């Protein structure tokens, strides 16, 4: 990538991060080109050189969130080769990402962000799906190494993994940060770890019969 393109990419990321920070503190209603420019010490015209308006910036924020989800996966894969440890570290990184960017749940779970913009909702779903694909690959690796149960498909396990995060993130957001999301993440992980074990404990199925 040339220097000018790199500088442009860095500026665009800076703008998107500033927009995310504004949503974190002021909500979607507080987001404007003027507010973004003020946050990073630029004039509004400098923002318009990169984005046509607020809605385009918001799309860039969604791309930023998606990129960071995948970056978290790449980071934990470089840190350790053990699939179960990768899942644990990914959970902690995901929780940390939400705590450090309260604007994420404000955007992802806000109907205002998607009003008359079905393509934006589709983009968010696409980003989550890419993340789940990566998590399912870790699950499959664990199954192949005999560290994760094989009686459930990797995709279902990946969705269960995401289920460890989303409720805690919502409660943390609704409580204004008072909900102890770190403690809950550790407790949820312990339960999920037991669930992943290659020889699961006998439990009744949906019809009440032992599996």
CATH number, domain containing residue 164: 1.10.357.10
Residue tagged 């969604």 (tokens): 62
Q: Name residues whose C-beta falls within 8 Å of residue 66's C-beta, 6 or more positions apart in sequence.
A: 123, 124, 126, 127, 130, 131
**What span, in angstroms and rounded, lies between the C-alpha atoms of 206 and 192?**
19
Question: Residue 190: inside a domain, yes or no?
Answer: yes
Q: What are phi and psi of 208, to 5 degrees?
A: 85, 5
- In this structure, are residues 98 and 181 in contact, taking their beta carbons and an 8 Å threshold? yes
The residue segments making up the domain with residue 121 are 58-196
Domain count, the chain: 1
Residue 5 domain-assigned (yes or no)? no
- On whether residue 72 sits in a domain, the answer given is yes
**pLDDT (tens place) for every residue of the chain, 211 residues total:** 566 776 888 999 999 999 999 998 898 999 999 999 999 999 999 999 999 999 999 999 999 999 999 999 999 999 999 999 999 999 999 998 888 888 888 888 888 888 888 999 999 999 999 999 999 999 999 999 999 999 999 999 999 999 998 888 778 778 877 888 888 889 999 999 999 999 755 555 556 555 5
The reply to whether 2 falls in a domain is no
Secondary structure percentages of the chain, helix, strand, coil, to 5: 75, 0, 25
In a domain, 37, yes or no: no
Tell me if 17 is assigned to some domain: no
In a domain, 14, yes or no: no
What is the pTM assigned to this prediction?
Answer: 0.85
pLDDT computed for residue 43 by the predictor:
95
Q: What is the pLDDT of residue 137?
A: 98
Which tokens belong to 192?
């999920």
> Does residue 74 sit within a domain?
yes
- Is residue 127 within 8 A of residue 62, CB to CB? The reply is yes
For residue 51, what pLDDT is reported? 94
């Amino acid at each position: 990538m040339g220097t000018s393109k790199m500088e442009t990419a860095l500026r665009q990321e800076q703008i998107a991060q500033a927009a995310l920070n504004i949503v974190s503190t002021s909500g979607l209603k507080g987001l404007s080109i003027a507010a973004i420019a003020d946050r990073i010490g630029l004039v509004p015209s400098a923002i318009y050189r990169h984005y046509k308006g607020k809605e385009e910036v918001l799309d860039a924020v969604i791309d930023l969130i998606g990129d960071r989800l995948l970056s978290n996966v790449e980071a934990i894969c470089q840190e350790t080769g053990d699939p179960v440890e990768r899942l644990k570290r990914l959970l902690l990184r995901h929780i940390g990402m939400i705590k450090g960017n309260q604007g994420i749940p404000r955007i992802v779970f806000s109907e205002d962000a998607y009003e008359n913009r079905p393509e934006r909702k589709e983009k968010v779903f696409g980003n989550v799906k890419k993340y789940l694909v990566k998590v399912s690959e870790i699950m499959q690796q664990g199954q192949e190494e005999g560290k994760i149960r094989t009686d459930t498909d990797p995709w279902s396990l990946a969705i269960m993994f995401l289920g460890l995060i989303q409720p805690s993130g919502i409660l943390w957001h609704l409580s204004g940060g008072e909900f102890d999301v770190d403690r809950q993440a550790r407790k949820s992980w312990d339960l999920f770890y037991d669930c992943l074990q290659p020889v699961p404990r006998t439990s009744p199925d949906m019809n009440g019969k032992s599996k």
